[in-house]
Amino acid sequence: MACKLVILFFFVNLLMQIPKVRATIPAIIVFGDSTVDPGNNNQVSTVLKSNFEPYGRDYYGGQPTGRFSNGRIATDFISEALRIKPAIPAYLDPKYDIEDFATGVSFASAGTGYDNATSDVLSVIPFWKELEYYKEYQNKLRKYLGKDEANQRFSESLHLISIGTNDFLENYYILPTRSSEYSVDEYQSFLIGIASNFIRELYKLGARKVVIGGLPPMGCLPLERTTNMFFGSDCIDEYNDVAKDFNKKLQGAVTELKQKLGGIHLVMSNPYDKLMEMIRNPSHFGFEDAETACCGTGFFEMSYLCDNMNPFTCSDANKYVFWDAFHPTEKTNAILADYVVKTTLAEFR
């Protein structure tokens, strides 16, 4: 009982510290991968799903939703900080309609990437298709709110993009095609070009407030540490260096786009340093383990390998930085969201 009270106090205290960004943002619209997918993959013919226990065991009602976490994901906490709603629905979830989506919606798909070849690996929604869903959503919202009000909402809404890790860990470093076509540097530039074009398309569709996320220290994900077990299961420095280099290029692209797209409020959110801080000094944030995940053995399980039949899953996810071998716990998501609101989103106040 005492442990539950401590956990409850932590979350209440954390949420109270998140500064509130007032009415300038009426909705949050999300694109990306599993870091921000609240359940779109539930409606897709893919093996990459998480709509079963123990996923979601700490979500409202203890229900798995398709979020790759034990509870809420970062965009849910950001939405709450914007005083919009405590969770962002998945666009393909039949439980929701345009009334729900009017104040926030996610088109994200776990396993996808900037590169179309990445989405092909596990047959998930490609990045370009997320944009097509957004266009469809725009038409629905215009019918619901009226053309003028809907267009104003598009310009005032926060468009958030979180994607890119899968392009390297699921595609470039695993499959031979892209690595034979591009050097790492060239592949980074290839992806940056896709990101830039995506933002230009959003701009043409009326988006004026856009946040694009950089890559995390992907060499420190539990799954990558496991592949490095013969070298002490340390973080893979090469992957982390690639993430840092990519983030520098992405920031350069953001700067260039801001100069070319008049009236756009475009910023980059960089999760690298904050997550690395948690990994290097977990006890400072109240964690006990930043190397292995809570689910299963913590070395390699995710999706169907992280199911309710696995006897090794931890009892308290709040002690862990990572929920499964690839994704953060709800507590980590809350801390990252708090960081984004206090830094990146401060510019939108």
Catalytic residue among 33, 58, 115, 324: 324
Q: Token match 């050097």: residue?
A: 183
Measure Cα distances from 196 to 189, 193, 208 in Å: 10, 5, 14
Radius of gyration of the chain (CA): 19
How far is Cα 66 from Cα 16, in angstroms, rounded to an integer? 27
- Could you tell me which residues are beta bridge partners of residue 210? 159, 266
Name the DSSP class of 328.
Answer: B
Out of 58, 162, 269, 327, pick the active-site residue: 327
Cα–Cα distance between 319 and 10 in angstroms, integer?
12
DSSP 90: B
Q: Is 100 a catalytic residue?
A: no
- Cβ atoms of 184 and 172 within 8 Å: the answer is yes
Amino acid 146 reads G
241 catalytic per annotation: no
Cβ atoms of 65 and 39 closer than 8 Å: yes
Output the CA–CA distances (angstroms, integers) from residue 203 to 195, 206, 262, 291, 339, in the order listed: 12, 5, 10, 40, 26
The catalytic residue among 34, 109, 119, 303 is: 34
Structure token digits, residue 21:
């960004």
Query: What tokens were used for 50?
Result: 């998480």
Neighbouring residues of 251: CB distance < 8 A, sequence distance ≥ 6: 214, 268, 270
- Active-site residue set: 34, 324, 327
